[in-house]
Structure 1
Amino acid sequence: MAGKRLIVLCSIDLIKNMNISSTKTKYPFRNIHFEGSAEYGLQGLASNNDPKSWKYKRQFYTQAMMTPSFNYQAVEWTNELWNEMESCWNNLGENYELDLIKWMHRFSNEIIFRISTGVKNDTVISYYKNIDHENNIIVLNEKEREKVEESENFIQSIDTFFKGIVYFVIFNRFMRHYIPFIRGKVKGLLKNRDYLYNKVYEIIKKRRIEIENTPLDQPLRHDMLTSHITANTKRDINPVKHADDDLLRPMTDEEIFGSIIDSMGAGTITTANFFCFIVYYLGRYPEK
């Protein structure tokens, strides 16, 4: 559609050959390059077809996730957030019917966002307060309402952003900007993109300033953003390197931003849906 030709493989052998993890693979690029990625601002790993750039960015994922302190911090934050969400459920009472998918979307969003940036965006507690407010259990003041609305807007923005990618994959530039219905939808998606991007860039810039103002003898927290900002600098929290010398340079804000966006997109929806599937399966087939 729209000038694109797709070849669908149904042979297991062919698919297996294309997805092996070996560096000697004949198929280093498994995603179709589309011109809309530049307009939508996709600049992470998922849409990257430049081998050197991909290798450079990929090393930081490996570097961050292979660090024991990073994994320890992630587990600690996950347990902390789960206890917080469980407390919210207990407060709602046994007779309240939970919409598990909404809760898990907020849980996965908050934990992945915190692991990625070190920032706790409080999407779980904000959702709980919103439920209480709608049921007239509590009355939120203006500041609390603004915080709840901002939290909901943010999680909806992430969901809208990743669902909107399909418009920039399927439709060419002419269709995106001149076909009436599609044009209106694309304008809304670009406006949402700007909102989301500004939020993430603000977090990156704020964290850079915090690191610059932190004394050299004071340890830094272990999250992906801090790891990316300090990479290949005197404040590097990952002394062990897994890359060639020509890749050992600090990351720019744009490169960091692409990695953070990829992290949120790769885990928020899939993790939530996977957890809900497990709960459904265990409830549906308890004997298995």
Structure 2
Amino acid sequence: MNYAISYITSHITLTLTDWLTIFLIIALLYTTEYYLSYFTRSNPLPGPLPFPIIGNAYLFRGDYSEVFLKLQKKYGTMMEVYFGPKRMIWIGDAKLIKKLNDPSPKSNFPYRAIGSWIDELKMTGMGMGLNNHMSSWRFNRAMLAKSVIVPSLFRQLVHVMEKTFEELEGYWIKLSKGNNKVIKIDLADWVYKYTNDIIVPTVTKKPAGLMLTHYNNIINNNTKITFEQNQAIEMLGRIRIWQKSIVFFYFFPKFLRHYIPPFTFLNTKYLYNINWLNEYFINITKIRRKEIENTPKGETLSSDILTSLICSNTHLGTQFDNINDEYGRPMTNEEIMRVTIEAITGGTNPLGSGICFTLYHIAKNPQAQSKVHDEIDRVLASDKEDTVAGFKWKAKQEFFIHNYYIQNSKTHWRDPELFIPERYLDDNEKPEENSHLPFGGGIRICPGRHLALTNAKI
């Protein structure tokens, strides 16, 4: 083989012009074949014209959500976009997605993303979001679904939410009173840290401490945080990078990512980040598994999702009613690792974005604000002053309602000392509101009044 190569190179000498000619011929042939396939494709749909190799990547600048919103508005509710040589169909009509969201296991469209880039991200057959191995996907989904419906998890989540909100409120109060200095509060930043401080301990049992760190940075307090909190902060930052890497690998073709700077640098950066995350979550899974094994018999385990995933289908956790080869086994560390990453991601971004969007639109809409205030006052006890008999009283002031006096008052009744049952039947002599309260009133009204009235009638 080496002799053949040496013989060819010694007898064939190409100039730079020759190499350029060969390159142009190859490029011309590739472009011809590319557009021949494009113009003879099945089910042609409206969409931007793709270029060889890069597809429509030349359009992917700025906010991708805005880019594709404009494209959908321009080309209609069903359009095609090319990511490199790959054709993707985008649907923007709710009437057209019924078959795509068919819950049947026999659905013809069970995948949301397909490509070798999933292998590069080391997500093939892992987790749920990009898992195209349906048996593995069903198993992971079933195990997570079982873990998040445990009653003790809900109780712990409520406790963590209350504690975290009180912590957030405390930081804001301190900032508003500090040194008479106006401090700008970035709501989106705080909400992101607030939701992560809730989700991370709920999933992993480990504290995050993002709000504390952010508060210390604002007031220039150099208080050191624990090693665990520092690792949690780095982990959450890398999860955000991981989300960007999915967008990067999804939108940009392999050729660009592997051979064209600066895409090659981003490709290397994102792959390193994925390796770090995988190792981090594998490590905390191993540590937690060891802690569970060393827990004294009879001692209650924590109710975080990681613990539940480790214990599922073991003597320490719950099992599926129908034990079989597919669902009856415990999860491996690798399976738990990927599900845990997705649980944290899915638990923070949608919640944080939803809170920010809701608060933003309420702040911009005075009528909505008024309705929110009314509902809060209606549902929750108000701590504001209120007016009774022309006087302002603090909330929770104690009043004794003297019903005996009211029912004997000539202000409210004609001849109150006389027995006149007909007075309740006379339309012209209806009792004044709140002048006759045999069962009390308001939120303290007797809960058994209907039973008492029924007994009296019988």
TM-score above 0.5: yes
Residues 208 and 233 of structure 2 are in contact (CA less than 8 Å); yes or no, is this contact kept in structure 1? no
Residues 73 and 222 of structure 1 are in contact (CA less than 8 Å); yes or no, is this contact kept in structure 2? yes
**Number of the residue aligned with 2:94:** 12
Post-superposition shift, 1:245?
A: 2.0
**Number of the residue aligned with 2:354:** 274
Counterpart residue type for residue 111 of structure 1: I
Residues 160 and 192 of structure 1 are in contact (CA less than 8 Å); yes or no, is this contact kept in structure 2? yes
Q: Which runs of 5+ in 2 are unaligned?
A: 1-82, 369-458
Counterpart residue type for residue 189 of structure 2: K
Residues 194 and 211 of structure 2 are in contact (CA less than 8 Å); yes or no, is this contact kept in structure 1? yes
Alignment of 1:1-288 (within 5 A): 1-20=83-102, 22-23=103-104, 26-27=107-108, 29-42=110-123, 43-93=126-176, 95-133=182-220, 138-140=221-223, 143-144=224-225, 150=231, 152-236=233-317, 238=318, 241=320, 245-246=324-325, 247-288=327-368
Distance (Å, rounded) in 1 between the aligned partners of 2:229 and 2:153: 29
Output the TM-score relative to the length of structure 1: 0.89
Distance (Å, rounded) in 1 between the aligned partners of 2:201 and 2:89: 39
Distance (Å, rounded) in 2 between the aligned partners of 1:80 and 1:221: 17
Distance (Å, rounded) in 1 between the aligned partners of 2:195 and 2:348: 5
Post-superposition shift, 1:213?
A: 0.4
Post-superposition shift, 1:85?
A: 1.4
Residues 99 and 109 of structure 2 are in contact (CA less than 8 Å); yes or no, is this contact kept in structure 1? no
Question: Can you list the C-alpha shifts for 1:230-286, whole angstroms capped at 9, x where unaligned?
Answer: 1111111x35x2665221101000100110111122232221111011111111113
Question: Can you list the C-alpha shifts for 1:39-58, whole angstroms capped at 9, x where unaligned?
Answer: 21232100111221111111
**Number of the residue aligned with 2:432:** none
Larger displacement relative to structure 2 (61-70 or 171-180): 171-180
Distance (Å, rounded) in 1 between the aligned partners of 2:142 and 2:226: 41
Distance (Å, rounded) in 2 between the aligned partners of 1:115 and 1:75: 10
Distance (Å, rounded) in 2 between the aligned partners of 1:198 and 1:184: 22
Residues 175 and 182 of structure 1 are in contact (CA less than 8 Å); yes or no, is this contact kept in structure 2? yes
Residues 210 and 233 of structure 2 are in contact (CA less than 8 Å); yes or no, is this contact kept in structure 1? yes
Larger displacement relative to structure 2 (23-32 or 103-112): 23-32
Post-superposition shift, 1:110?
A: 2.3
Residues 126 and 151 of structure 1 are in contact (CA less than 8 Å); yes or no, is this contact kept in structure 2? no
Change in CA separation of 1:180 and 1:86 when aligned onto 2, cut-off 3 Å: same
Change in CA separation of 1:161 and 1:254 when aligned onto 2, cut-off 3 Å: same
Distance (Å, rounded) in 1 between the aligned partners of 2:202 and 2:279: 19
Question: Can you list the C-alpha shifts for 1:48-72, whole angstroms capped at 9, x where unaligned?
Answer: 1122111111111211122211111
Larger Rg: 2
SS of the equivalent of 1:7 reads strand
Post-superposition shift, 1:214?
A: 0.4
Distance (Å, rounded) in 1 between the aligned partners of 2:226 and 2:285: 26
SS of the equivalent of 1:6 reads strand
Q: Percent identity?
A: 29
Distance (Å, rounded) in 2 between the aligned partners of 1:160 and 1:107: 19
Residues 127 and 342 of structure 2 are in contact (CA less than 8 Å); yes or no, is this contact kept in structure 1? yes
Change in CA separation of 1:154 and 1:50 when aligned onto 2, cut-off 3 Å: closer
Residues 161 and 192 of structure 1 are in contact (CA less than 8 Å); yes or no, is this contact kept in structure 2? yes
RMSD over aligned Cα atoms: 2.2
Change in CA separation of 1:251 and 1:171 when aligned onto 2, cut-off 3 Å: same
Residues 208 and 229 of structure 2 are in contact (CA less than 8 Å); yes or no, is this contact kept in structure 1? no
Question: Can you list the C-alpha shifts for 1:167-225, whole angstroms capped at 9, x where unaligned?
Answer: 22123333322112100111111222223222222211110110010022111011110
SS of the equivalent of 1:259 reads helix
How many corresponding residue pairs? 279
SS of the equivalent of 1:208 reads helix
Residues 101 and 276 of structure 1 are in contact (CA less than 8 Å); yes or no, is this contact kept in structure 2? yes
Residues 105 and 268 of structure 1 are in contact (CA less than 8 Å); yes or no, is this contact kept in structure 2? yes
